[in-house]
Amino acid sequence: MVLWIVIAVAVLALVILGAAVMAVLGRLRGLDRAMRRLLRRQEQAAKLQAKAEVLQETIAGLERRAELAQEQVAVIKAGHGSSDGKHSLQSAASPW
């Protein structure tokens, strides 16, 4: 009789252990899916960061070009002595 009680307790302990293992495995699967999603988002963030750096370099180049253009316009205006940007040929009457 005691032997059957010991066997029943052992079987019950194994069933409880199995249920606990299944619960832990279920949580591990969920954590694995979450980890994969985070890794994908990390890759996407790295790609976006690289694109942002390229865009920043492009903007810096455009700013340099705009500064050069403004300097050239200032030189042209200063060279012709007119503040409205017209040079002497534009204000003179056309010979044709």
Per-residue pLDDT tens over the stretch 37-87: 999 999 999 999 999 999 999 999 999 999 999 999 999 888 876 555 555
- Position 95 pLDDT exceeds 90: no
The Cα 17–Cα 46 span in angstroms is 43
Check if the beta carbon of residue 80 is closer than 8 Å to that of residue 87.
yes
Model confidence pTM above 0.75: no
Residue range 10-31: average pLDDT? Answer: 94
Measured distance CA(76)–CA(90) in Å, rounded: 13
Which amino acid makes up residue 34? Answer: A
Contact criterion met (CB below 8 Å) for 73 and 65: no
Cβ-Cβ contacts under 8 Å for 85 (sequence gap 6 or more): 73, 76, 77
Q: Tell me what pLDDT residue 79 has.
A: 81
Return the C-alpha torsion angle 51, 53, 57, 62, nearest 10: 60
Q: pLDDT tens, 23-42?
A: 999 999 999 999 999 999 99
Residues in contact with 80: Cβ distance below 8 Å, sequence separation at least 6, in sequence order: 86, 87, 88
